[in-house]
Structure 1
Amino acid sequence: MPADRTGRVVLLGASRTLTERACALGLETLLVTTKQAVPTVDLELVDRLVVVDSYDDKLLMPLVSRAHEETPFGACITFVESALDTAAQINEQLGLGWVSPETVALTRDKSLMRERLNTLGLCPVPARLCSSAAEALAFAEETGFPLIVKPPMGVASIDVRMARDADELAGMFADGRPLHVEEYIDGPEFSVETFSYSGRHVFLAIVEKRLLDGTFVEIGHTVPARLDDDAAASIRKVVSLCLDALGLTEGPAHTEVKLTPDGAKIIETHNRVGGDFIWELVRLATDWDLCTMTLEWAAGTAPAPSWDVAESTATSAIRFLAPPPGRVKRIFGPELLAGMPGVVKLGLFVGVGDEIPTVSQSFDRVGYVIATASDAAAVNSVCDRASELVRFVV
């Protein structure tokens, strides 16, 4: 629990959603963000603004300490991946609690996380941080193929690849970067959205994922996932054990798991809300808003809920748009979605004249459709139909 429940928070990194929610809750906010991110928020919604060149904790610490002395705040929170370490350092040095720097390091570094879980015998997966092709090939001799190879501190599915043989594996080390290598876990993938209150984990949703064919890039999510009670319970159990093992006692977490014949296994976890508008899908399906929950708990304006597993009152889904690559000449169809039953929102990241890339990471997707319906089949039908109506001419 944050040490000083004041009704005030520091927001590290610009987030339109967080600033809007904080304003709606009547919280006092100090926004610390980079110059590039300033245009993304409505500055009238924040009480104080500090613009910085980077989220370097050594530069920010004196600044935030002075602000805290003048007007104490409950916690420094962020949903920006690159600022998670700094937020933890600020909270620790000011004695505010929240998430420790050690826990953030364990959640951000895939190799450290896997080492901790394996040491504790929690759904162990053979893994190694390899600095060369020779090290990776030696590991492959022990475990066999296929293997998953990814940057130890990566995000957004960037450079996540599967090595099916020795030649593929060796080629992934051509640029000399250390890479996290682990045994491939087969099975359907889900994410689990939780919020922790002084070590008590409540479960907002289990999210069903859909991948773009031939990639590890997520092309869709559905809330809640289509799981029987036993499977859902097994997933919640292993996620709870994972969060305990990593020392995550406060705030949101986004944990990716796969369901295997041997039970649920952890892929990775993060001490923030899930990206890809998952927080919005959770809100639409359960009426619980992870952004609001984070702000209220940090500021001390709301108690922990009495339930352990949120009840879904609807089904929500998102479908990302990933058309063939090329320069956009025209876009047809957005007007057809206006008033379409079930469609909540259409978002486009490109316009006429922009280049559509070949999708190899999450940032390559060019738009999305969010929808709600009574069940998973219905909501995915709406998403599929709506996404088909939006056409990009290149």
Structure 2
Amino acid sequence: MRRLAVAYEQGSAGPAELSAAARALGVEPVLVVDSASAHVAQVLPALRRRFTLVDTAGAPTAEAAAEVVATGVHGVVTFSDLCLPIAAAVAERLGTPHWHSAAVTAVLQDKAAQREAFAARGLDVVRHAVITSESDVDGAIAATGLPAVLKPAGGTGGLRVTGVESLDAARETARRFLPDGPLVAEELLVGDPGVAGPEFGDYVSVEAAVHEGRVLPLGVVGKLPLARPFRERGFFVPSTVDQATTARVVEVAEAAVLALGIRTGIVHTELKLTAAGPRLIEVNGRAGGHVPDLFDRAFGYSVVEAAFRLALGEAPAPPEQAGAGVIYQYVFLPPTDATAVEGVDGLADLHALAGVDLVDVRVGPGHEVAWHGGAFSRLGKVYGRVPDHSALTELVVRIEDTAKFRFTRTCQ
């Protein structure tokens, strides 16, 4: 039986999805974990019951990669941005072309480097500047103009992404978040609400599989409007953008993927829908965290299985036609001034709403929250299917009227 190394961390596809894909392909997954991670430590007993594990805690990346390769794996894959470096190191030691190289990984983890690669290919020029110290802020904002967006240079999941409308706000944001690493300042891309519709987000993502330098589009995911400042509230397929816009966002996403030198793997590309056309936000060298579930329920398609095939040198097929209706995930988020959950009411009533299939809320009183945690600060999700996009907008209102979280709050 072929063995496949799967580097696992927060944001990864879940154990059930990994197991199902492995069974379908007749492969044995070897999970590469770091038990020093708070998330991994929490789920480690469950992972041990289901998988062969390689624990890399405390080991330098090169030594950890050697230990993984010694288990006899034939390829490597990850679904977490946090694991891209170890996956690249394993691929290099294996000598496999079926995963991102160290050079490609470095660009995937550097938002400024991505912007430069896009500009070099003439794809998209977004004013940006790197901030490594507070003394860089004034020059960076002079380069980008205001309003601007500040984000971690190597961030993931919307972590610490902040909008600033003044130089003082930029200075304060840098003072707060620079201890966690360099930031990138970017000009604010202004979306056109008429492209996807005013009830929906002014951005989309393109999911694609890349095999030997050929990009195979898998689908376009629509979004609910962002929560302040830049936090994702929900996702759905099919999107609301028209056929011509769909073709254009897919074209731009494909060009962006190739501009970064990506040769293989599942990729997730986010694009802003502006009046001048789609603009690149960023490319991620893994599947979007919400995508496997959406594609499974919409198309009966396993994105995890497709990623496994790519990691083993096989080209996956695209999804077949979607079923009826709109498949969605709605995300519960804390307000920006919340510090902890005090309680929640109405969750049981959510199940009675037409179009709701599953309510997954696992936080309780005392659970600490922080808006700048991005996707990692989600309180839970609602999953389901509705007949059309109008029904989705109506259901979102009912969800928000039904489930009421209570928080400990602080002045901002």
TM-score bracket, normalised by the shorter chain, equals 0.7 to 0.9
1:17 Cα offset (Å): 3.8
The 5-angstrom pairing of residues 226-305 of structure 1 reads 226-275=240-289, 277-299=290-312, 303-305=315-317
- Which residue identity is paired with 2:219? A
Is residue 138 from structure 1 mapped to residue 139 from structure 2 by the alignment?
A: yes
1:328 and 1:143 mapped to 2: Cα distance?
37
1:45 corresponding residue in structure 2: 50
What secondary structure does 2:282 align onto?
Answer: strand
1:231 Cα offset (Å): 0.9
What secondary structure does 2:310 align onto?
Answer: helix
1:166 and 1:335 mapped to 2: Cα distance?
46
Q: Percent identity of the aligned residues? A: 25
1:328 Cα offset (Å): 4.8
Is residue 200 from structure 1 mapped to residue 210 from structure 2 by the alignment?
A: no
- Which residue identity is paired with 1:30? V
Is residue 318 from structure 1 mapped to residue 329 from structure 2 by the alignment?
A: yes
What secondary structure does 1:31 align onto?
Answer: strand
1:3 corresponding residue in structure 2: none
Change (3 A) 1:24 1:49: same
Change (3 A) 1:327 1:186: closer
2:354 corresponding residue in structure 1: 341
Is residue 379 from structure 1 mapped to residue 392 from structure 2 by the alignment?
A: yes
1:343 Cα offset (Å): 1.7
1:155 Cα offset (Å): 1.6
CA contact (8 A) 2:130 2:140 kept: no
Change (3 A) 1:195 1:390: same
CA deviation profile, 1:146-198 (whole Å, cap 9, x unmatched): 11111101122222112222222233332655321121111121111111122
Change (3 A) 1:173 1:38: closer
The 5-angstrom pairing of residues 155-174 of structure 1 reads 155-174=156-175
Give structure 1 stretches of 5+ with no counterpart: 1-5
CA contact (8 A) 1:22 1:28 kept: no
Is residue 150 from structure 1 mapped to residue 172 from structure 2 by the alignment?
A: no
1:173 and 1:338 mapped to 2: Cα distance?
42
What secondary structure does 1:218 align onto?
Answer: coil
The 5-angstrom pairing of residues 4-153 of structure 1 reads 7-13=2-8, 15-25=14-24, 26-35=26-35, 37=40, 40=43, 41-46=46-51, 48-53=52-57, 56-68=60-72, 73-98=73-98, 99-153=100-154
- Count of residues in correspondence between the two structures: 379
CA contact (8 A) 2:341 2:367 kept: yes
Query: Which runs of at least 4 in structure 1 moved beyond 4 Å after TM superposition?
Result: 326-330
The farther-off stretch of 139-148 and 238-247 is 139-148
Change (3 A) 1:50 1:144: closer
Calculate the TM-score normalised by the size of structure 2.
0.83
What secondary structure does 1:168 align onto?
Answer: helix
Give structure 2 stretches of 5+ with no counterpart: 192-201, 408-412
CA contact (8 A) 2:3 2:29 kept: yes
- Which residue identity is paired with 2:283? T
- Which residue identity is paired with 2:321? E
Change (3 A) 1:148 1:180: same
Calculate the TM-score normalised by the size of structure 1.
0.87
2:241 and 2:59 mapped to 1: Cα distance?
40
CA contact (8 A) 1:149 1:182 kept: yes
What secondary structure does 1:217 align onto?
Answer: coil
RMSD: 2.5
2:236 corresponding residue in structure 1: 222
Change (3 A) 1:329 1:145: closer
2:194 corresponding residue in structure 1: none
What secondary structure does 1:173 align onto?
Answer: helix
